Amino acid sequence: MSPDYEIVIGLEVHAELKTQTKIFCSCSTAFGAEPNTQTCPICAGFPGALPVLNRQVVDLAIRAGLALHCEIPAMCKFDRKNYFYPDLPHGYQVSQFDFPVCKQGYLDIDIEGQKKRVGVTRAHMEEDAGKLVHQGDITTTPFSLVDLNRSGVALLEIVSEPDMRSAQEARAYLEKLRSMLLFAGVSDCKMQEGSLRCDANVSVRPFGQQEFGTRCEIKNLNSFRALERAIEYEAKRHMEALEDGTELFQETRTWDEEKQMTRSMRSKEEAHDYRYFPEPDLPPLFISREWVDEVRAALPEMPEQAQQRLMEVYGLPEYDAALLTLTPETLDFFDRCVQEYPDAKTIANWMMGEFSRLLNQTNQEIGDSHLTPDHLVQMLRLVDDGTISGKIAKTVLEDMFNSGQSPQEIIKAKGLVQISDADTLLPLIEDIVGANPKVVEDYKSGKGKAMGFFVGQIMKATKGQANPALVNELLKKVLDSIQ
Amino acid sequence: MELYELTVHELQELLAGGITSSAEIVKSVLARIDAVEDQVKSFITVTREQALDKARQVDAQGSYQGLAGIPMGLKDNICTRGVKTTCASRMLADFIPPYESTVSRRLDQQGSVLVGKLNMDEFAMGSSTENSAFFATRNPWDLTKVPGGSSGGSAAAVAAGQIPFSLGSDTGGSIRQPAAYCGVVGMKPTYGRVSRWGVVAYASSLDQVGVLSKDVRDNAMIMQIIAGHDPLDSNCVDLAVPDYVAGLDGSVRGMRIAYPREYFGVGVNESVRDLVMQALKKYQELGAIVEEASLPHSEYALPAYYLLGPAEASANLACFDGVRFGCRDNTAENVVDMFSGTRDHGFGDEVKRRIMLGTFALSSGYYDAYYLNALKVRRLIANDFTKVFNDYDIIIAPTTPTTAFGLGEQRGDLLTIYMNDVLTVPVNMAGLPGISIPCGFTGGLPVGMQIIGKAFDEATVYKAAYAFEQNTDFHTIKPQLGVR
Ligand SMILES: [Zn+2]
């Protein structure tokens, strides 16, 4: 990126709130049901049906607001946002316009060891629309199918200040936001399933300039990677335009994942006039301080507190503590291990090393894998008492990860118990040494590699099960006894 | 006397005394519909077989509690499960709701028998029922006159003896104005008193369901049943409903009555004014204190109403897009054309006019000047009423400036049409209860008197209306329809 320009980024994030029922009716919010099986006159926009606010939505919105250090005003209200679209049953979306449920919060993000504070302008409750299935573009498709299962699912739209200055910062903000929402238990935040969606507002200006540059809104950012790529692409496009003196237009653009580029959806002139006005079917919502206090008291441990605890109670380095508090599931896994096994650092090493590698490799979340804290602890104990070597332990872990079997079962089934019996190992070592006089000579002449060759051969012969310390000890003894 | 001529409480006595049966009553009502419907044209749907079935079921139970066996008619914007609910619009000409409104469910549970769905101005927009997409309803007192609107079918059917009582809805006068034109009793309760669940919305912050009946006692009794908290309508207030009928003691002694000078001024027909003044005199004779008062912002109510109502309507009617129910333009080549084709074909002129008006009033750049100012006017109007109610128990005024006008007479003359609501709209803007009761005749047409009460004080309104009715006989005079 050019050093002469500054990128300015603000994010609008839609998080699906984790409620059993929709925001204004009692239809289920379960994901993946048959189309139009979770609908009723209210969420299908039938005439005469009226919305009734789901209190649980407000609870979760307040909880999210507190997690994002927001103010919860004593009064908020709902408004209608008017536009026609076949997936929008009422012809308007019930949202919050000028009096949102949360305002003026912040999130602290970590950029290469530097703490940076990003403002949260507001967060408001709204209903989701349905889903359309059509061939190609909606204006040319022969027909469209409408699924209203998602219509009326509760969303929280969280709007940041334009405080971010790089794609990296934007990603860090979104990751932090996701972590906060996960810890607060307000959303599943699954980007692939659409329960966390992100739009980015991007503009570019010469360093030192006060006014913002022309702003473009980018939609369809379905992953952290897409967010970063799209911002980088868009910023580059703006810089080039500024360099060339071509005009930029305020517009809405979409991220094309296939072509790895943004393209125009609609310009400012075509922008909707949403004609917001107060939702007359819902009275203003008054949130008492007692209600807020109640939610605050029930707020679970948040990542910053947990990180602090891991450093203070278990003496973990900041880096480890940060990684172990990325999601509630990770922290929970660690907490359950450390209750049974005293060496926190060893647990952390295995979680951040081998376990994390396997998760990445298989594209799984910690909760999806078969590995349980109990099994990991049992495995660590087997290493400690010499039943298996550290090297074998990696194999055992992978097996536990894939099959969910206990380490004992795996060791037994595969015969992986460490050979720590000198009577078994000694004849084997003597055979191998005897068969390689040339290497013995090398050893005698002081070549370090020779020792390694013998250890390797012994391990190969025992399928890695020989106790390495014992092998070293016996091997030395055998070699030294040769004159 | 034929059964169809009786009031609800008279029918209840006959049923309780074992003198008649619900089936007899329903047959009498159906025969009356057959006899005069050609002239009055108040029904969009008659649920003949269903009504007879239910009547026989009720009769089989042997005893008659509540409204058991009493026929009812519902304005056709009140959703009835399994029975066509059209809102008098091409858009919903074949719409059969899969759900029931709270008001009709409560009446049904009380044993009342649905006989049919009543004509109205399309989506409750109008003051003459001429905006029905199907046909115009006629005034039983003079078949060349309109019955008023938008609940014109509900009022005409009660006046013509086609049904002992009906429900209507009132957004700016749509119960009281047709009640006045047809010489029946029509009550719009306080906003939030009656559930709106299942009632197709025109303007959500103004709409209320109410009762049209032959006398005040019937009205109070039916209101008692439909009023009260409903968790399905977030604006429906959780407040105990007093026993309205028990409060009908015929006395207004010591009651403080205000008559606002703005409601007797220019535009109000002289004989209408005289009849209401005579009624006020009657109240004085009965021991009430009657004084002039002022509601100074009244003249701004109508223009503000014609911004707020249409603004809400523009969103409320956006669900009619042809996607999920109602009519659809199947000739359209793409989705945008389907939307506009459906709405162009499905909506009538007045509905389109109000949608455009409301869309404009909410548009960016005009919102503050129109919508927001209208909201401020609404507040001022409510304050006017609050001030008067500091000193008075009820307010009395004419319901309408004139008697029923001729069919087709005001067609196209929008401002004149809108003036029909000038005396009823402020009551909706303030969310107050208001009743229209007959207070005399001029030129062979009935005149309505409006009694306005404090919020949630329907009891006092009924009490005052009943006292007047007990001391006059206007409610006993019936239109003479030539029977085929
Ligand atoms: Zn639903």
Best CA proximity match to A278, nearest among A57, A94, A153: A94
A contacts of B87 (beta carbons < 8 Å): 47
Nearest residue in chain A measured CA to CA from B233: A50
The yes-or-no verdict on residue A361 having pLDDT over 60 is yes
User: What is residue B128's predicted lDDT score, i.e. its pLDDT?
Assistant: 96
Q: Tell me which of A26, A43, A46, A279 to substitute to probe the interface with B (most B C-beta atoms closer than 10 Å).
A: A46
Euclidean distance between CA atoms A99 and A425, whole angstroms: 77
Euclidean distance between CA atoms B132 and B42, whole angstroms: 11
Record: contact B315-A140, CB cut-off 8 A: no
Q: Which residues of A329-367 are buried (b: 16+ CB within 10 A; e: fewer)?
A: ebbebbbbbbeebeebeebbebbbebbeebbeeeeeebe
Nearest residue in chain A measured CA to CA from B195: A50
Within the 91-120 window of chain B, which residues sit less than 8 Å (CB to CB) from chain A?
A: 92, 95, 97-99, 101
Q: Is A279:A80 a contact under the CB 8 Å cutoff?
A: yes
Euclidean distance between CA atoms B417 and B407, whole angstroms: 12
Q: Which residues of B178-197 are buried (b: 16+ CB within 10 A; e: fewer)?
A: bbbbbbbbbbbbbbbbbbbb
Tell me which residue has tokens 């019955």: B147
User: What is residue B280's predicted lDDT score, i.e. its pLDDT?
Assistant: 98
| A399 CB neighbour count, 10 Å cutoff | 21
A151 Cα–ligand 1 center, Å: 8
Euclidean distance between CA atoms A45 and A41, whole angstroms: 6
Amino acid at site A34: E
User: What is the residue-level pLDDT of chain B in tens, covering all 484 positions?
Assistant: 899 999 999 999 999 999 999 999 999 999 999 999 999 999 999 999 999 999 999 999 989 999 999 999 999 999 999 999 999 999 999 999 999 999 999 999 999 999 999 999 999 999 999 999 999 999 999 999 999 999 999 999 999 999 999 999 999 999 999 999 999 999 999 999 999 999 999 999 999 999 999 999 999 999 999 999 999 999 999 999 999 999 999 999 999 999 999 999 878 999 999 999 999 999 999 999 999 999 999 999 999 999 999 999 999 999 999 999 999 999 998 889 999 999 999 999 999 999 999 999 999 999 999 999 999 999 999 999 999 999 999 999 999 999 999 999 977 778 888 888 999 999 999 999 999 999 999 999 999 999 999 999 999 999 999 999 999 999 999 999 876 5
* Start and end residues for every CATH 1.10.10.410 domain found in chain A: 422-481
Record: contact A86-B321, CB cut-off 8 A: yes
B208 Cα–ligand 1 center, Å: 24
B263 at A interface, C-beta within 8 A: no
Best CA proximity match to B118, nearest among B50, B42, B169, B187: B42
Record: contact A92-B315, CB cut-off 8 A: yes
Q: Tell me which of A81, A140, A277, A286 to substitute to probe the interface with B (most B C-beta atoms closer than 10 Å).
A: A277
A contacts of B319 (beta carbons < 8 Å): 45-47, 89-91
Record: contact A50-B87, CB cut-off 8 A: no
Q: Is B331:B342 a contact under the CB 8 Å cutoff?
A: no
B362 at A interface, C-beta within 8 A: yes
Which pair of tokens denotes residue B166?
Answer: 């009906």
Indicate the burial class of B343 (C-beta count within 10 angstroms; 0-12, 13-18, 19 or more): buried
Best CA proximity match to A59, nearest among A13, A21, A29, A89: A21
Q: In what order do the strands lie in the sheet with A261-267?
A: A102-111, A114-127, A154-160, A5-16, A196-206, A216-221, A251-256, A261-267
Record: contact B197-A50, CB cut-off 8 A: yes
Q: Is A167:A30 a contact under the CB 8 Å cutoff?
A: no
Nearest CA distance, A49 vs chain B (angstrom): 5
Record: contact A275-B364, CB cut-off 8 A: yes
Best CA proximity match to A23, nearest among A71, A61, A57: A57
The yes-or-no verdict on residue A1 having pLDDT over 60 is no
Section A198-216 average pLDDT:
94
B196 at A interface, C-beta within 8 A: yes
Section A201-223 average pLDDT:
93
Question: Is B75 annotated in the active site?
Answer: yes
B contacts of A52 (beta carbons < 8 Å): 231-232, 234
Average pLDDT value over all residues in chain A: 92
A468 at B interface, C-beta within 8 A: no
User: What is residue A113's predicted lDDT score, i.e. its pLDDT?
Assistant: 81
| Of B204, B321, B362, Cβ closest to residue A275 | B362
Q: How many CA atoms lie within 13 A of A471 on its CB side?
A: 24
B contacts of A41 (beta carbons < 8 Å): 97-99
Tell me which residue has tokens 């204004």: A24
Which pair of tokens denotes residue B156?
Answer: 């005409």
Record: contact B367-A92, CB cut-off 8 A: no
Residue of B150, B166, B195, B213 marked catalytic: B150
Q: Is A102:A65 a contact under the CB 8 Å cutoff?
A: yes
Nearest residue in chain B measured CA to CA from A283: B235
Strands B43-46 and B113-118: antiparallel
A contacts of B234 (beta carbons < 8 Å): 50-53, 281-283
Best CA proximity match to B399, nearest among B193, B177, B240: B177
User: What pLDDT, in 10s, does the model give residues A24-43?
Assistant: 999 999 988 999 999 999 99
Record: contact B234-A138, CB cut-off 8 A: no
Within the 25-64 window of chain B, which residues sit less than 8 Å (CB to CB) from chain A?
A: none
**Residues in CB range of B100: below 8 A, 6 or more apart:** B79, B80, B81, B108, B198
Strands A102-111 and A114-127: antiparallel
Q: Tell me which of B236, B307, B335, B363 to substitute to probe the interface with A (most A C-beta atoms closer than 10 Å).
A: B335
B314 at A interface, C-beta within 8 A: yes
B430 Cα–ligand 1 center, Å: 32
Residue of B89, B101, B154, B174 marked catalytic: B174
A275 at B interface, C-beta within 8 A: yes
What is the topology classification, in CATH, of domain A422-481?
Arc Repressor Mutant, subunit A (1.10.10)
Residue A412: pLDDT band (50, 70, 90) is confident
DSSP labels, A45-65: T-TT------HHHHHHHHHHH
User: What is residue B161's predicted lDDT score, i.e. its pLDDT?
Assistant: 98
User: What is residue A141's predicted lDDT score, i.e. its pLDDT?
Assistant: 79
Euclidean distance between CA atoms A312 and B23, whole angstroms: 83
B83 Cα–ligand 1 center, Å: 22
Best CA proximity match to B226, nearest among B214, B208, B206: B208
Within the 149-188 window of chain B, which residues sit less than 8 Å (CB to CB) from chain A?
A: none
Residue A143: pLDDT band (50, 70, 90) is confident
B157 Cα–ligand 1 center, Å: 36
User: What is residue A268's predicted lDDT score, i.e. its pLDDT?
Assistant: 65
Section A99-128 average pLDDT:
95
B381 at A interface, C-beta within 8 A: no
Best CA proximity match to A186, nearest among A131, A130, A123: A123
Euclidean distance between CA atoms B55 and B141, whole angstroms: 30
Percentage, residues of chain A above pLDDT 90: 67
The yes-or-no verdict on residue A269 having pLDDT over 70 is no
Nearest residue in chain B measured CA to CA from A134: B335
Section A111-129 average pLDDT:
95
- CA distances, B120 to each of B86, B123, B195, B230 (Å): 10, 8, 20, 26
Strands A196-206 and A5-16: antiparallel
| Of B204, B232, B324, Cβ closest to residue A45 | B324
Residue A270: pLDDT band (50, 70, 90) is low
Strands A277-278 and B71-75: unpaired
Which pair of tokens denotes residue B340?
Answer: 């506009």
Nearest CA distance, A278 vs chain B (angstrom): 9
User: What pLDDT, in 10s, does the model give residues A303-335?
Assistant: 989 999 999 999 999 989 988 998 899 999 999
DSSP labels, A176-206: HHHHHHHHHTS----TTTTSEEEEEEEEEEE
Residues in chain A: 483
B contacts of A281 (beta carbons < 8 Å): 201, 204, 234-235
Among A182-186, A201-205, A268-272, name the one with the lowest average pLDDT: A268-272
Q: Which CATH class is domain B3-258+390-476?
A: alpha beta
B contacts of A82 (beta carbons < 8 Å): 314-315, 318, 362
Strands A92-95 and A79-82: antiparallel
B contacts of A89 (beta carbons < 8 Å): 319, 323-324
The yes-or-no verdict on residue A140 having pLDDT over 90 is no
Amino acid at site A134: H
Backbone angles phi, psi at B371, to 5 degrees: -60, -50
B206 Cα–ligand 1 center, Å: 25
Residues paired with residue A208 on neighbouring β-strands, in sequence order = none
A347 Cα–ligand 1 center, Å: 46
Euclidean distance between CA atoms B278 and B286, whole angstroms: 12
A132 at B interface, C-beta within 8 A: no
- Degrees to nearest 5, angle at CA B77 with B72 and B78: 50
Q: Tell me which of B323, B330, B351, B371 to substitute to probe the interface with A (most A C-beta atoms closer than 10 Å).
A: B323
- CA distances, A80 to each of A161, B362, B366 (Å): 24, 11, 17
- CA-based end-to-end distance of chain A: 68
Q: Which residues of A273-307 are buried (b: 16+ CB within 10 A; e: fewer)?
A: ebbbbbbbbbeebebeeebbeebeeeeeebbeebb
Within the 64-83 window of chain B, which residues sit less than 8 Å (CB to CB) from chain A?
A: 77, 79
